[in-house]
Amino acid sequence: MKLEFDAITKRYGGHTVLDAITAQLEFPHVLALLGPSGGGKSTLLRVIGGLESPETGSLTIDGQRVPTGERSLRTFRSNIGTVFQSWNLFPHLDALANIMLPLTAVHGLAPEAARDRSLELLERLHLTGHAHKRPAELSGGQRQRVAIARAVAIHPRLLLLDEPTSALDPEMTAEVLEVIADLKSEGRTFILVTHAMNFARTVADQVAFLADGRIVEQGSAQTFFSAPQSETVQRFLAKVLKY
């Protein structure tokens, strides 16, 4: 997959979150967006997913320009699977219904087909026994696996994972990271925002490092972690990989 950013700028009030980003990022399966908190990673991910529109600039994905009109954006977003750090599950629906809803309401699948696909994913993610539990009855790791199942169920062209383990304890984090590693082994294409450096080193093909709203460094995961070029990245890795 190839992403081409042309002078992407995003501001909230008087604060510039993305500062005229111009870059080309190409990766076979997994791109990791890394960097310090507040550097612009999640905002850039939302721009890629069509959830935020930049003030200036444009983004092209595999030669297709991300649209700006709301009707066109709805179509574009329907082919992107997004997993947020806070799950964003519907609290009044059980796990099965949460997965089925976008399949029937957005993609027009018949209820029977949507149910079969959803049950298959619940089984793959070891959630069959929790199909009829609402989010409040699930653990954090189970909720996040339901959210991943919902994102995968639509057969998206691209998955976006925004800090999917940040709200989880170590055991639940391991559960979810295993699921994400399995997604790569299946050949899924996704972009991952994470602070889990060792996991990013293992799963990512390419890395882009954001700080102060700019892409400071990009390259293969192997080169990024073994021989970072910029002082900013060197200092960052020395700090986060120290313990």
pLDDT in tens, 21-38: 999 999 999 999 999 999
User: Can you tell me the mean pLDDT for 73-101?
Assistant: 93
Q: SS3 letters for the chain?
A: CEEEEEEEEEEECCEEEEEEEEEEEECCCEEEEECCCCCCHHHHHHHHCCCCCCCEEEEEECCEECCCCHHHHHHHHCCEEEECCCCCCCCCCCHHHHHHHHHHHCCCCCHHHHHHHHHHHHHHCCCHHHCCCCHHHCCHHHHHHHHHHHHHHCCCCEEEEECCCCCCCHHHHHHHHHHHHHHHHCCCCEEEECCCHHHHHHHCCEEEEEECCEEEEEEEHHHHHHCCCCHHHHHHHHHHCCC
Provide the pLDDT for residue 142: 93
Query: Is domain 1-79+158-172+185-243 annotated with CATH 3.40.50.300?
Result: yes
Residues of the chain with CATH 3.40.50.300: 1-79+158-172+185-243
pLDDT band at 242 (very low <50, low <70, confident <90, very high): confident
User: What are the backbone angles phi and psi of residue 23, rounded to the nearest 5°?
Assistant: -165, 160
Q: Residue 69 pLDDT more than 90? A: no
d(CA 233, CA 243): 17
Q: Residue 120 pLDDT more than 80? A: yes
Provide the pLDDT for residue 185: 92
User: Can you tell me the mean pLDDT for 3-32?
Assistant: 95
Q: Residue 243 pLDDT more than 80? A: no
Q: Is the model's pTM score more than 0.85? A: yes
Contact 185, 199 (CB under 8 A): no
Provide the pLDDT for residue 8: 97
83, 46, 198, 225 alpha-carbon torsion, rounded to 10°: 160
Provide the pLDDT for residue 77: 92
